[in-house]
Amino acid sequence: MDVQQISLVVPALNEAAGIVGALAPLQPLRERGHEVIVVDGGSHDGTADLAEPLADRVVRGPRGRARQMNAGARVSRGGILLFLHADTRLPEAADRKIIVGLTRSGRGWGRFDVRLSGRHPLLRMIGPLFSLRSRVTGTATGDQAIFIRRDWFDTAGGYPDIPLMEDLALSRILRRRGRPLCLWSRVVTSSRRWEQNGIIRTILLMWRLRLAYYMGADPRELARRYR
């Protein structure tokens, strides 16, 4: 295991329309010695085949983001795990920012600030508010490209096997050991869901789901409401 190598784990499900665009920007990272692992959750649109030339490994795993990310982590070789959604783009030199940041801070995990891709003024406000909330609460969402030292990930037991809020659940486990490294550099994540479902409606839905989760609601019921 190389402590300076990053294993990027990309969970995917029916992402044929965008998987090439998601993986192409990661090729410079592969050239610098990092690895890209795509975990397909049973796509029926050829996602896995399209990913093959652009990844070090394509794993056909069980459906469910937490299960897919855990499956990718199990076959990875790097000393740092970076979990990247297929609709999220990393900033330039993300690998150096992660490695230097973790080394200098002595922390075991972290995330980037986030910006939504759309141009609506409300979308421009959401990203900074997400990042501020993350700094205050010491938690992170999957859209922020969570990165974790392997020993911390293993000690935490990986992502909890729940169908929604798996990122917050893992954050709570990791936070008991130490707060996250919050990098100011921003990832850009797709605003498609927000724009399709309505920005205000989506904001209210996500806050209701988060509040329900923190109050002990069953993640399976929350996943049903999210869908």
CATH superfamily of 2-190: Spore Coat Polysaccharide Biosynthesis Protein SpsA; Chain A (3.90.550.10)
pLDDT for 1 beyond 70: no
State mean pLDDT over 102-125.
94
pLDDT band at 207 (very low <50, low <70, confident <90, very high): confident
Q: Do 11 and 65 contact (CB within 8 A), yes or no? A: yes
pLDDT for 218 beyond 80: no
pLDDT at res. 202: 84
State mean pLDDT over 206-215.
78
pLDDT tens, position by position, 63-113: 999 999 999 999 999 999 999 999 999 999 999 999 999 999 999 999 999
Distance of alpha carbon 64 from alpha carbon 43, whole angstroms: 12
pLDDT at res. 70: 97
Beta bridge partners of 35: 7
Which 3 state secondary structure label does DSSP give 226? helix
pLDDT tens, position by position, 131-174: 999 999 999 999 999 999 999 999 999 999 998 899 999 999 99
pLDDT band at 42 (very low <50, low <70, confident <90, very high): very high
pLDDT for 46 beyond 70: yes
Distance of alpha carbon 223 from alpha carbon 227, whole angstroms: 6
Q: How far is CA 78 from CA 4, 95, 158, 213, in A?
A: 7, 12, 15, 32
Q: What amino acid is encoded at 156 in this protein? A: A
pLDDT at res. 196: 85
- Tokens coding 47: 């996602």
pLDDT for 193 beyond 90: no
Q: What amino acid is encoded at 14 in this protein? A: N
* Residue linked to tokens 């479902």: 197
pLDDT for 227 beyond 90: no
Domain ranges across the chain: 2-190
Mean pLDDT of the chain: 93
* Residue linked to tokens 């855990």: 70
pLDDT band at 5 (very low <50, low <70, confident <90, very high): very high
More confident residue, 205 or 152: 152
Q: How far is CA 39 from CA 6, 60, 137, 146, in A?
A: 16, 6, 29, 16
pLDDT at res. 215: 78
